[in-house]
């Protein structure tokens, strides 16, 4: 399935996002369902990286009557990722995590102690990546960068011990 969703998500209110979402589903011949809305909603509300399982649990809490299945989560996330409505990062141990697509691309700092994820953007690096790709005659379509280490908090805690 090939979809083509030109969209930015964050920084808009939920009702607008939802409207956007419905339009985009239609445009791609996909149906609007309560399950899909809830997935969008939880991603919007939590505003952070969620694993499929976490997302599943959140929806179970938020809408137990929906009785959503984990398979639907996986299927929908795959679909939304193809549609570029969500993006994912894959961490070595923890598996894939998803978040709403952002109008701005960003990279991640991941605390190896507590798992916290700090987002950042750096134009200098972005620019350099393009140059490097060009040098290697490589046609860049995307990239991901993770910095691993200890967040401020965990550094403090370590000192105390």
Partner DNA sequence: GTCGCTGCAAAGTCTTTGCAGAGAG
Partner DNA sequence: CTCTCTGCAAAGACTTTGCAGCGAC
**Contact string (CB under 8 A) for its own copies, positions 76-115, x = contact:** ------------x-xxx---x------------x-xx---
Q: Within positions 121 to 140, which residues make up the interface with its own copies, using CB under 8 A?
A: 122, 124-125, 128-129, 132-133, 136-140
- The answer to whether 61 and 111 are in contact (CB under 8 A) is no
Tokens of 61: 């809490």
Q: Which is nearer to its own copies, 31 or 159 (CB)?
A: 159
From the list its own copies, DNA, none, partner contacted by residue 76 (C-beta under 5 to 8 A by kind): DNA
The alpha carbon of 138 is separated from its chain's Cα centroid by a whole number of angstroms, namely 26
Any idea of the CA torsion for 133, 138, 140, 145, to the nearest 10 degrees? -50
**Binder of residue 144, out of DNA, its own copies, none (CB less than 5 to 8 A by kind):** its own copies
Burial class (CB in 10 A: 0-12, 13-18, 19+), 47: exposed
Identity of the residue, 56 or 151, whose beta carbon is nearer to DNA in the bound complex: 56
Residues lying near DNA in the complex (CB under 7 A) are found at 25-26, 29-36, 51-53, 66-72, 74-76, 78, 95-96
Binder to its own copies among 53, 71, 118, 157 (CB under 8 A)? 118
User: Which residue is listed with tokens 């991640």?
Assistant: 108
Q: How far is it, in rounded angstroms, from Cα 85 to Cα 64? A: 25
User: Torsion angle of alpha carbons 127, 130, 135, 137, nearest 10°?
Assistant: -170
Kindly list the residues in this chain that would bind its own copies in the complex (CB under 8 A): 88, 90-92, 96, 109, 111-112, 118, 120, 122, 124-125, 128-129, 132-133, 136-152, 155
């Amino acid at each position: 399935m090939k979809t083509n969703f030109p969209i930015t998500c964050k920084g808009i209110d939920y009702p607008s996002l939802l409207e956007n979402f419905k339009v985009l589903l239609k445009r791609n011949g996909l149906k609007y369902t309560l399950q899909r809305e809830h997935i969008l909603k939880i991603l919007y509300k939590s505003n952070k990286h969620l694993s499929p399982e976490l997302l599943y649990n959140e929806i179970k809490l938020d809408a137990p009557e929906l009785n959503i299945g984990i398979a639907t989560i996986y299927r929908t996330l795959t679909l939304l990722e193809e549609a570029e409505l969500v993006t994912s990062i894959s961490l070595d141990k923890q598996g894939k995590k998803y978040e709403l697509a952002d109008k701005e691309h960003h990279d991640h700092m991941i605390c190896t102690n507590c798992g916290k994820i700090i987002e950042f953007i750096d134009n200098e690096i972005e620019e350099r990546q393009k140059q490097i790709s060009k040098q290697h005659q490589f046609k860049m379509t995307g990239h991901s960068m993770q910095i691993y280490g200890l967040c401020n908090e965990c550094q403090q805690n370590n000192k105390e011990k």
